[in-house]
Structure 1
Amino acid sequence: MTVESRVDLVPLRTWFGLRWRGYDRDEVDDYVAELESELRLVTADRDASEARADALASRLMSVQEENDALRDGLHRICLTPIDPKGLPERLARMVALAEEERREVIRDAQLKALMIVGEAEARARALDEGAAAKREEVREDFRLAMSARRAEAMRALAELRNVALDEAERIIAEAKVRRAGIEQDT
């Protein structure tokens, strides 16, 4: 069972039935208050870890969008040709050389862009997988911590119950002895 909010965790039951010569109320109340405080800290840690994972996922999305925008801009710039018909012969030759150089630059830029995009996508996948793994690790750590604390609280409650039962049995035994003494006196 997963715990989704602070409301599911706290407040815990903070009262106990009173028994004649039972537990020390202040001690149990202090223990419960301390346990609730620890639960609040664990919940805050979990929420902070989830917020960090969400922030990383958001940053990953913005980097991917930025890469897409750069790729589109490069493609648009590369598709704008110069018309050599309206230029004198020397300028036409320079334009032809520039056009050839442009094609080489475009080819090199496209190869580099593909490599960069591939690397960015690989890093983005790694970040996404890392964020998912970290979220799952935080959830598992929280589940284990809560399980251990629950077991500890149950042991403490069982111990308090046993102490109260022992005290009740002792009081009943004393009462029976006194009743037997009173019955003998009469």
Structure 2
Amino acid sequence: MASERDSGLMPLRREFDQVWHGFDRNQVKQYVEYLEDQLRRLLSDRDSAMAQASTLSRELENARRELAKLHTRVDELCKPPERPEDLDERMQRTVDLANTRAEEIVTRAETAAEEHWAKAGEASGKLRARYAKLLGELESHAEAMENEHQAALAETRAEVERLTTEAAQRREQLDQEAERRRRAIERDFDAKMAAEKAALEKHIADQQTASKNQAERRIAEAIAEAKRRLDEAATEAERRVDEATTEAERRTTEATQQVERLTDIREQARLRVRKAQDLLKEGEPALTPLPEEETELAPSAS
């Protein structure tokens, strides 16, 4: 409990702000860790001394209780016996030895307690002095670091203001340079655009002339090609008409010849039919049955 109260006087961990200039952060951390380690060791020694003093106090209290018990026992033994034979010389020596032993124990316990209390007080004083010294060193270092931090902060602010001023001047110079370059680029662009426009107009005129000549040439070629194809088509048509006429005449001749042959065949057939009819007429009397044949044929018919 005492160590917790004392450790509350100063935090064992102390953080420092990081700045551009100042002490080396690693060295500061190492030194603070060293001081904290020393402080922990002192607090541990003090706690050990306090625990030892508490132990001695408990031993002293135990010795006092034992002494009280011995005094009680001595008082009981010192009471006058009811009978004379109850008290003898041996008992008297025992009582004397007990009193002497009790006085020695009390004296030794008081002496040891006083020595331990003196040692504990001396150790506690040394620890407090060392603790105060460490606190003073820490405060001085903290003050030095704070001064260094303030100086570095002021220097940094001055540097930032200087850099800001230089940046503003540089920005104005860059703006002027950019404006000058922009105007030069605009002039070059206008001149280049005018030259390209003139070249483009000339190219368009040349293209129009070339296109017109090429169109006229292609029209002439198309007319000639159309005329050639018309002549070829007319020749082909005449050839096909002649071929068709020849074929028609040939087929007409063949058809006429076929008709003539069919006419001849029909005439021959008609003549043959007429001859057959004449023959039938001539042979009809020969086909009429005789009277005898009619008689023979009648029963068979019935």
Q: Name the TM tier (shorter chain).
A: 0.5 to 0.7
Select which of 108, 125, 145 maps to 1:160.
145
Cα separation, 2, equivalents of 1:77 and 1:143: 51
Q: Choose 36-45 or 113-122, whichever is displaced more.
A: 113-122
Counterpart of 2:151 in structure 1: which amino acid? D
TM-score (norm 2): 0.45
1:64-83 per-position Cα deviation (integer Å, ceiling 9, x unaligned) = 32333344445556769697
Measured after TM superposition, the shift of residue 162 of structure 1 is 2.8
Cα separation, 1, equivalents of 2:77 and 2:92: 13
Measured after TM superposition, the shift of residue 150 of structure 1 is 0.4
Other-structure match for 1:91: none
Other-structure match for 1:109: 94
1:126-157 per-position Cα deviation (integer Å, ceiling 9, x unaligned) = 22222322332232122101100001111211
Distance 1:20 1:70, change over 3 A: same
Measured after TM superposition, the shift of residue 54 of structure 1 is 0.9
Other-structure match for 1:141: 126
Q: Identity percentage over the alignment?
A: 26
Other-structure match for 2:285: none
Measured after TM superposition, the shift of residue 174 of structure 1 is 5.0
Q: Is the CA contact 1:78–1:106 (under 8 Å) kept in the aligned structure 2?
A: no
Q: Is the CA contact 2:2–2:47 (under 8 Å) kept in the aligned structure 1?
A: no
Cα separation, 1, equivalents of 2:15 and 2:21: 17
Tell me the secondary structure at the aligned position of residue 5 of structure 1.
helix
Q: Is the CA contact 1:21–1:167 (under 8 Å) kept in the aligned structure 2?
A: yes
Distance 1:171 1:77, change over 3 A: closer
How many pairs align? 169
Cα separation, 2, equivalents of 1:67 and 1:78: 16
1:21-75 per-position Cα deviation (integer Å, ceiling 9, x unaligned) = 2333332223222322222221111111111111111112222323333444455
Cα separation, 1, equivalents of 2:166 and 2:38: 51
Cα separation, 1, equivalents of 2:14 and 2:164: 37
Cα separation, 2, equivalents of 1:150 and 1:50: 22
Cα separation, 1, equivalents of 2:29 and 2:101: 60
Other-structure match for 2:48: 48
Distance 1:63 1:170, change over 3 A: same
Cα separation, 2, equivalents of 1:83 and 1:125: 39
TM-score (norm 1): 0.68
Cα separation, 2, equivalents of 1:21 and 1:74: 80
Cα separation, 1, equivalents of 2:116 and 2:80: 41
2:7 is the alignment partner of 1:9: yes
Cα separation, 1, equivalents of 2:71 and 2:112: 21
2:84 is the alignment partner of 1:121: no
Q: Is the CA contact 1:12–1:36 (under 8 Å) kept in the aligned structure 2?
A: yes
Trace 1:70-85 onto structure 2 (pairs within 5 A): 70-73=70-73, 76=76
Relative to its length, the structure with more helix (as a share) is: 2
Cα separation, 1, equivalents of 2:67 and 2:163: 89
Distance 1:83 1:111, change over 3 A: closer
Cα separation, 2, equivalents of 1:83 and 1:171: 104
- Please tell me whether Structure 1 or Structure 2 has the larger radius of gyration of its CA atoms: 2
Cα separation, 1, equivalents of 2:166 and 2:141: 37
Cα separation, 1, equivalents of 2:165 and 2:78: 109
